[in-house]
Structure 1
Amino acid sequence: MGVDFSLFYASNMASNDQQPKCRRIELIEGLHGRKNTLISPVQMMNDADSTTSFTKQDRESHVVYFPGDVQTFAKEMSLHRVGKKWMNWSFEKTARKLQQRFPTSWIWVVRPHRVHEFVFSCFENFIDCNIIGSPIEFEYRNATEHLQLLLMNACKSLENIINEQSEDESNEGETCVLDGNERLANENQKHISVDPTLPVKLVGFSKGCVVLNQIVFELKQSLESTTELKDFVKRISAIYWLDGGHSGEENTWVTDRETLEVLANTGIIIHAHVTPYQVDDVARPWIAEEHREFVAVLKELKADITNKIHFEAVERSLKIHFELLGHF
């Protein structure tokens, strides 16, 4: 996210060690040779935090989330001098926040392929990036096809898992570690369906927005590709950019008009949410400039876009950057 370490160490925010229960499905394969671990929250039927009388059959879409720098599993964050200050935004707690935000969706948190120095998220399975995960250039890398296959295989694995394992409420706070490529017994006796053909909403936070940018850059080719990939793109109903930022000096937001015209013509609902942490960063003025251009061009193209600046009256800090996850 273009880390300002002075903001890390200035924070004295306390975190709650109690983490929600999630399923951690290890090394799901998308494109051949590309694997990512995915995290999905366990929804308890008497969950006090639930905002609906939700049942597992009520799922209407998939929400796929690409995290920012620092975010990882709670146990890993607790062992690092930076991560332990921000455990309220661990994978587990973020997955729970997303479930509350999208109560009738399957939630998927995509773990970056690599994390540099326990801080910098590197989505090398999706983008061409440098050692700290900043994009080098946006060329066609089959990122959208990788995501399509990744989600399809994750749905198969999760469907097997939830029909084989009871959700023991006494295990609240644990992360179940499961092999995403393992075929479980009695897979024909399914009770819950995890339908991979549901509509898809993509959410990127901070560094994770680079994956959204890559998918947008690939839209034209994806829509001219195989039937399966075209169908997947047509199922993308919304994309949420949440305070995008990285340590590079350009391409924080998509500004190429031809690319944005393709995006506008898809009818995908576009959400841009930012905070002063990124758009008021005097050391990286291009972030605000690119954000303004992204919004202005899409509005000119009559795209379905909403744009909101959060915490405008609050002093710029990394805290408000993370808190956006609970306010978009």
Structure 2
Amino acid sequence: MESKIFYLNKIPGFAGRCNDILYSSPLRVTAVHRLIVFFGGDVQDLKSCMEKHNDSKRYLMWSLENTLSILSKRFPQSHIMIVRPSRMEIKSYAVFSCYDNFVPGDEYGVPSFKPNNNALLHLSKLLRSVLTQVSQQDILGVNLTLMAFSKGCVVLNQFLHEFHHIQNQENLDENLKDLTKRIKDIWWLDGGHAGTKDTWINDKRILESFAKLGTLVLDMSCGNVKHWILKNFYVVGIKVYVYVTPYQVNDKRRPWIKNQENLFCKTLQELHVPVQRTLHFKEEKPSLTTHFNVLTVIKDIST
């Protein structure tokens, strides 16, 4: 069975922000559905755009359309939604993905994280707009997987800042309540950007808030059962998958990436967040080939 594929132009989100979206329905129809939201890396764009640039056209196999096909085959029971960056910064030597609608960045998309940039609210409204356009409103309540590769991981990092920001808000937007309680797992795939800091989030306060997110969700749905929650909240926490390659974490020119990634995983594990960390292609020389190939080794482990 083939999935239905849609390219949706300028989908509205929060306060006038718009993103182009690629969406595909599940290859295999089952009673249980999931929606994967994916943010790609530098270079990755629509095939027609990549063909016009001397550097980008070397990586056509990783176009957003091909990436959608890869994800659909790796997760055949899931709806897939790829968020195209709102800005592609074109230089003579490379093209940089800039997720300005989620996190402010410079001309190369290097992020400047904020406590709140309404990135979560933008995502929530994007989801509703997309699912309405593709006539899939019935999956608005399904579980969510957030997944990002390379530069796209800056969006996940901004989400972490916002999880911390909303933790103690009394009048939390109903859309944010719904969004956070449906996130079941988050995948960081060989994260990196052109900056020299904040490749991975190491602020313990922010990671502590993330570790408590499962408790927050349970508390909203089950009422005042704090004693039971404190005893059992590890079970309901969001699962984290970290897939890395030597291209990012063994680069001697950028030692901060390895150090930050190690501390990120170590801190989450100490906070009892379920983390699965895997170093892929560790016997191979660091290269863009192995970097991109991490997209081919992810798989659906929920079934």
Which of 95, 100, 103 aligns to 1:127? It is 103
Which of 218, 235, 240 aligns to 2:187? It is 240
- Bigger proportion of residues as helix: 2
8 Å contact 1:69–1:120 — kept in the other structure?
A: yes
Q: Does 1:36 align with 2:19?
A: yes
Shift of 1:138: 3.0
Give deviations 1:112-161, integer Å, cap 9, x for gaps: 000000610000000011111011233310100000010111100111xx
Structure 1: 4+ residue segments shifted above 6 A = none
Q: Secondary structure, in 3 states, of the residue corresponding to 2:243? A: strand
Shift of 1:227: 2.4
8 Å contact 2:104–2:112 — kept in the other structure?
A: yes
Shift of 1:265: 2.0
Give deviations 1:151-200, integer Å, cap 9, x for gaps: 111100111xxxxxxxxxxxxxxxxxxxxxxxxxxxxxxxx654212111
Length, aligned pairs only: 267
Match of 2:121 in 1: 145
Mapping of residues 112-261 of structure 1, within 5 Å: 112-117=85-90, 119-159=95-135, 194-223=138-167, 224=169, 225-261=172-208
Cα separation, 2, equivalents of 1:210 and 1:58? 33
Cα separation, 2, equivalents of 1:319 and 1:222? 39
Compute the TM-score of the two structures, normalised by the length of structure 2.
Answer: 0.84
Q: Does 1:22 align with 2:22?
A: no
8 Å contact 1:68–1:208 — kept in the other structure?
A: yes
Cα separation, 1, equivalents of 2:203 and 2:144? 24
Match of 2:229 in 1: none
Q: Secondary structure, in 3 states, of the residue corresponding to 2:123? A: helix
Cα separation, 2, equivalents of 1:103 and 1:59? 12
Q: Which amino acid letter does the alignment assign opposite residue 28 of structure 1?
A: I
Which of 87, 96, 99 aligns to 2:60? It is 87
Shift of 1:59: 5.7
Q: 1:298 to 1:42 in 2, by over 3 A?
A: closer
- In structure 2, list runs of 5 or more residues that go unmatched: 214-236, 299-303
Q: Which moved more, 1:80-89 or 1:234-243?
A: 80-89
Give deviations 1:264-312, integer Å, cap 9, x for gaps: 2221100011000000111111100000000000111111111000000
Cα separation, 2, equivalents of 1:23 and 1:82? 27
Which of 31, 37, 42 aligns to 1:64? It is 37
8 Å contact 2:25–2:78 — kept in the other structure?
A: no
Match of 1:273 in 2: 243
Q: Secondary structure, in 3 states, of the residue corresponding to 1:124? A: coil
Over aligned residue pairs, what C-alpha RMSD do you find? 1.7
State the identity as a percent: 37
Cα separation, 2, equivalents of 1:227 and 1:39? 26
Give deviations 1:30-84, integer Å, cap 9, x for gaps: 10210001001366xxxxxx6xxx23x6561110000100001112112211111
Shift of 1:226: 1.5
8 Å contact 2:115–2:165 — kept in the other structure?
A: no
* Structure having greater relative contact order (Cα 8 Å, sep ≥ 6): 1
Cα separation, 2, equivalents of 1:141 and 1:42? 30
Give deviations 1:4-43, integer Å, cap 9, x for gaps: xxxxxxxxxxxxxxxx983110111110210001001366
